[in-house]
Amino acid sequence: MTDELSTLKSETAAALAACADLRSWDAVRVGILGKSGRLTALLKQLGALPPEERRQRGAALNVLKDELAAAIESRRAALEAEALNAKLARESLDVTLPPRPAASGLIHPISRTMEEMAAIFGAMGFEIAEGPDIESDWLNFSALNIPAHHPAREDMDTFYLPAREPGGRRRVLRTHTSPVQARTMLSRTPPFRVIVPGRTYRADHDATHSPMFHQVEGLVLDRNITLGHLKGCLIDFLRAFFAIADLPVRFRSSYFPFTEPSMEVDIGWNRRTGELGGGGDWLEILGSGMVHAKVLANCGIDAREWQGFAFGMGIERVTMLKHGIPDLRPFYDSDIRWLRHYGASPLTPAILHEGV
């Protein structure tokens, strides 16, 4: 390479290095590669040279052209990167600032428990039945073998409404979800399996009783359902609900007007620590039994053909046990601090394959 070309190369490199921005860089580019640029001028002179010298000079100029073009392009890329970096530096934020506020809502523990019950009993083939909170005396009591004089009526502290039904009796706020048993038997033909979660009412108000609370009722009617199925179904439910595979469950003879035999169901726990499962103590958790022949007959079902079991349990009670909630009254107080503490995320509904 002649000195002249070397000079051009080194001067170009110096000029490029001196460029502070794309505008000055463009001036350098035009000064070298433009129509009247220095390299363009040298290329134009080629034609005047003798053939041998022209070939050599041409080859040298082509090499130089490639080199200069590459140098110019690389400088452009470098300048652009610098400019971008400078822009980004100007744009920087304090990323430790808090994000946009988003209030997170939640599902009440009672609803959550009802969902879990629907999921577990649903897997056992149950449907969900419903009935009104204001019931007729017949559905709440008489149909269920609780006649007017029955001592159980007094135990139940019933709320009454003035409205009379055709029979002349006052309507009641249902004292249990059991009237839906009768509703189901009257509106459907066996076999069926239903649970009935819902609001119930008793005139009782203290630290462990609320005038409104929730129960879930269960009713299974079929041809060959035995007391063994009652035990199996409830043990299966309790172990799934409390997620304790070997939860001890005990059945004790008892009495309810609407079932016979009747039994109360206890689960094992530790009275001292409140821990469920072991500990050697028993905690009463629900009532159950084989549907009473009189209840079937009152609802027009022939007890020679159909038999089955029913159960009822307090939703607040199992919720308190499952989550270690110490106190009943805050369930209905809607204290936002309590709701946020015990509420469930709406994005994790009770789905068996995700675990309840």
Q: Tell me: does residue 255 bind other proteins (CB under 8 A).
A: yes
Residue 275: CB minimum distance to other proteins, A: 22
Minimum distance from CB of 82 to other proteins (Å)? 32
* 242 scored as a contact of other proteins (CB under 8 A): no
Query: Interface residues for other proteins in 119-148 (CB under 8 A)?
Result: 119, 121-128, 130-134, 138, 142-143, 145, 147-148
Could you count the other beta carbons within 10 Å of the beta carbon of residue 46?
13
Residue for token pair 């400088």: 75
Interface stretch with other proteins, choices 7-15, 71-79, 248-256, 268-276 (CB under 8 A): 248-256
208 binds other proteins (CB under 8 A): no
7, 41, 271, 346: residue in contact with other proteins (rule CB under 8 A): 346
201 touches other proteins by CB under 8 A: yes
Residues 6+ apart with CB under 8 A from 75: 16, 17, 19, 25
Please return the burial class of 126, using the count of CB atoms within 10 Å of its CB with bins 0-12, 13-18 and 19+.
buried
Residue linked to tokens 């805050």? 330
DSSP string computed for 202-222: -S--BTTB-SEEEEEEEEEEE
Residue type, 285: I
Considering the complex, state which of residue 302 and residue 327 has its C-beta at the smaller distance from other proteins: 302
Q: How far apart are CA 174 and CA 176, in angstroms?
A: 5
Q: Is 331 in the site for other proteins (CB under 8 A)?
A: yes
Closer residue to other proteins (CB): 69 or 283: 283
Pair 267, 249: CB distance under 8 Å: yes
Find the shortest distance in angstroms from Cβ 185 to other proteins. 9
Nearest 5°: phi and psi at 298? -55, -30
User: Looking at beta carbons only, is 138 or 242 nearer to other proteins?
Assistant: 138
Output the CA torsion sign for 293, 299, 300, 301. negative
Using CB under 8 A as the binding rule, whether residue 233 contacts other proteins is answered as: yes
Of 38, 169, 229, 322, which lies in the binding site for other proteins, with binding defined by CB under 8 A? 229
Binds other proteins by CB under 8 A, chosen from 253, 272, 273, 280: 253
Copy the structure tokens of residue 79: 């300048």
Span of 17-25, 61-69, 74-82, 157-165 interacting with other proteins by CB under 8 A: 157-165
The yes or no reply on residue 66 touching other proteins (CB under 8 A) is no
Distances 116 to 79, 98, 111, 245, 309 between C-alpha atoms, Å: 63, 35, 9, 16, 21
Which position has the token pair 């469950």? 249
Site for other proteins in 81-100 (CB under 8 A): 97-98, 100
Distance, CA of 285 to CA of 243 (rounded, Å)? 16
Binding mask 266-295 for other proteins (x = CB under 8 A): ------------------------x-xxx-
Taking CB under 8 A as the criterion, the residue among 37, 277, 279, 349 binding other proteins is 349
